[in-house]
Structure 1
Amino acid sequence: MSSSYARKVATLLTAGLVAVALALPGGVAHADPGFVPAPHADTAGCPHKQHTPPAVDTSEAVAPGATTPTPLPVATPAVGGEALAGCDVVADPAAGPLPANLTSAGWLIADLDSGDVIAAKDPHGRYRPASTIKVLLAATALDELDLEKTVTGTVEDYQTEGDSCGIGPGGTYTVRDLLTGLVMVSGNDCAKAIARELGGHDATLAKMNAKAAALGAKDTRAASPSGLDAAGMSTSPYDEALIFRHAMGDDTFRQMISLPIYEFPGFPPLADVPRDKPHPGYTMGTSNSLLRDGYPGMLGGKTGYTDDALKTFVGAVERDGRTLVVVQMYGVNQLDNLYSDQAVRMLDYGFAAPAGTSVGTLVDAQSSEHADTHATSHQDDAAPHWAAWALVAFAVVALVAAGVLLRRRRPRG
Structure 2
Amino acid sequence: MGRGRTLRAAAALAVSGLLTSPLLAGTAYADQKDPKAPAPPAKMSQIGGERLGTPGVQVQLKPGAPKLPGPDALTARSWIVSDAATGKVLAAKNPHWQLAPASTLKMLFADTVMPKFPKNQKHTVKPADLAGMGVGSSLVGIKENLTYTVHDLWLGVFLRSGNDAVHTLSAMNGGTKATVSQMQRHAKELNANDTHVVTPDGYDAPGQVSSAYDLSLFARAGLRNADFREYCSTASAQFPGDKGKDGKRATFGIQNTNRLLSGDYDIKPYPGIAGVKNGSTTNAGSTFTGMAQRGDRKLLVTVMHPEKAVHNEAYREAAKLLDWGFAAADKVEPVGRLVGPRSEDDGTGAVSAQGKRHKGGQGSTQAALDSTGSGSTWTAVGITGGAVVVLGAVALVVRRRRAAK
- Residue 331 of structure 1 corresponds to 306
Q: In structure 2, do the counterparts of structure 1 residues 311 and 140 end up closer, same or farther at CA, with 3 Å as the change threshold?
A: same
Q: In structure 2, do the counterparts of structure 1 residues 156 and 102 end up closer, same or farther at CA, with 3 Å as the change threshold?
A: farther
Q: Conserved in 1, the CA contact under 8 Å of 2:31 and 2:56?
A: no
Say which of 4, 12, 26 aligns to 2:29: 26
Aligned: 1:119 with 2:91 = yes
Gaps of 5+ in 2: 1-7, 16-20, 264-268, 351-358, 361-405
Offset from partner CA, 1:307-350 (integer Å, 9 cap, x none):
11111000100012101011011224445732332111101111
Offset from partner CA, 1:197-223 (integer Å, 9 cap, x none):
111011001111111111110111111
- Residue 70 of structure 1 corresponds to none
Q: In structure 2, do the counterparts of structure 1 residues 279 and 354 end up closer, same or farther at CA, with 3 Å as the change threshold?
A: closer
Say which of 354, 359, 369 aligns to 2:335: 359
C-alpha distance in 1 between matches for 2:84 and 2:38: 25
C-alpha distance in 1 between matches for 2:327 and 2:311: 21
- Residue 74 of structure 2 corresponds to 102
C-alpha distance in 2 between matches for 1:340 and 1:312: 9
C-alpha distance in 2 between matches for 1:354 and 1:297: 16
Q: Conserved in 2, the CA contact under 8 Å of 1:107 and 1:122?
A: yes
- Residue 261 of structure 1 corresponds to 236
Q: Larger C-alpha radius of gyration, 1 or 2?
A: 1
Offset from partner CA, 1:217-248 (integer Å, 9 cap, x none):
01111110110011221111111111100101
Say which of 146, 162, 173 aligns to 1:187: 162
Offset from partner CA, 1:153-188 (integer Å, 9 cap, x none):
233556744110000111111111111210111000
C-alpha distance in 1 between matches for 2:195 and 2:260: 26
Q: Conserved in 2, the CA contact under 8 Å of 1:164 and 1:187?
A: yes
Say which of 57, 60, 70 aligns to 1:92: 60
C-alpha distance in 1 between matches for 2:234 and 2:289: 16
- Residue 37 of structure 2 corresponds to 40
Cα shift at 1:354: 3.5
Higher RCO structure (Cα 8 Å, ≥6 apart): 1
Name the SS of the counterpart of 1:280 in structure 2. Answer: strand
- Residue 402 of structure 1 corresponds to none
Q: Output the amino acid matched with 1:360.
A: G
Q: Conserved in 2, the CA contact under 8 Å of 1:38 and 1:104?
A: no
Say which of 257, 261, 270 aligns to 1:287: 257
Name the SS of the counterpart of 1:347 in structure 2. Answer: helix
Q: In structure 2, do the counterparts of structure 1 residues 125 and 372 end up closer, same or farther at CA, with 3 Å as the change threshold?
A: farther
Query: Superposition pairs for residues 134-153 of structure 1, below 5 Å?
Result: 134-153=106-125
Q: In structure 2, do the counterparts of structure 1 residues 223 and 135 end up closer, same or farther at CA, with 3 Å as the change threshold?
A: same
Q: Output the amino acid matched with 1:26.
A: Y
Q: Conserved in 1, the CA contact under 8 Å of 2:291 and 2:300?
A: yes
C-alpha distance in 2 between matches for 1:239 and 1:267: 38
Query: Superposition pairs for residues 232-381 of structure 1, below 5 Å?
Result: 232-268=207-243, 280-293=250-263, 294-334=269-309, 337-355=312-330, 357-365=333-341, 366-372=343-349
Structure with a larger share of its residues in helix: 1
Name the SS of the counterpart of 1:233 in structure 2. Answer: coil
Q: In structure 2, do the counterparts of structure 1 residues 179 and 336 end up closer, same or farther at CA, with 3 Å as the change threshold?
A: closer
Name the SS of the counterpart of 1:266 in structure 2. Answer: strand
Name the SS of the counterpart of 1:229 in structure 2. Answer: coil
Q: Conserved in 2, the CA contact under 8 Å of 1:247 and 1:253?
A: yes
C-alpha distance in 2 between matches for 1:166 and 1:324: 33
More divergent stretch after superposition (364-373 vs 256-265) = 364-373
Name the SS of the counterpart of 1:109 in structure 2. Answer: strand
Q: Conserved in 1, the CA contact under 8 Å of 2:234 and 2:256?
A: yes
Q: Conserved in 2, the CA contact under 8 Å of 1:265 and 1:281?
A: yes
Say which of 196, 199, 220 aligns to 1:221: 196
C-alpha distance in 1 between matches for 2:303 and 2:37: 13
C-alpha distance in 1 between matches for 2:326 and 2:34: 25
Q: How many aligned residue pairs are there?
A: 318
Name the SS of the counterpart of 1:216 in structure 2. Answer: coil
Aligned: 1:209 with 2:209 = no
Q: Conserved in 2, the CA contact under 8 Å of 1:127 and 1:309?
A: yes
Cα shift at 1:123: 1.0
Offset from partner CA, 1:107-153 (integer Å, 9 cap, x none):
00000011000000001110111000001111111221222111122
Query: Superposition pairs for residues 167-182 of structure 1, below 5 Å?
Result: 167-182=142-157
Q: Output the amino acid matched with 1:359.
A: V
Offset from partner CA, 1:28-58 (integer Å, 9 cap, x none):
69xxxxxx95942653xx26x5xxxxxxxxx
Say which of 48, 52, 57 aligns to 1:80: 48
What value does the CA root-mean-square deviation take over the aligned residues? 3.1
Q: In structure 2, do the counterparts of structure 1 residues 215 and 319 end up closer, same or farther at CA, with 3 Å as the change threshold?
A: same
Identity %: 32
Q: Conserved in 2, the CA contact under 8 Å of 1:291 and 1:300?
A: yes
Q: Conserved in 1, the CA contact under 8 Å of 2:130 and 2:168?
A: no
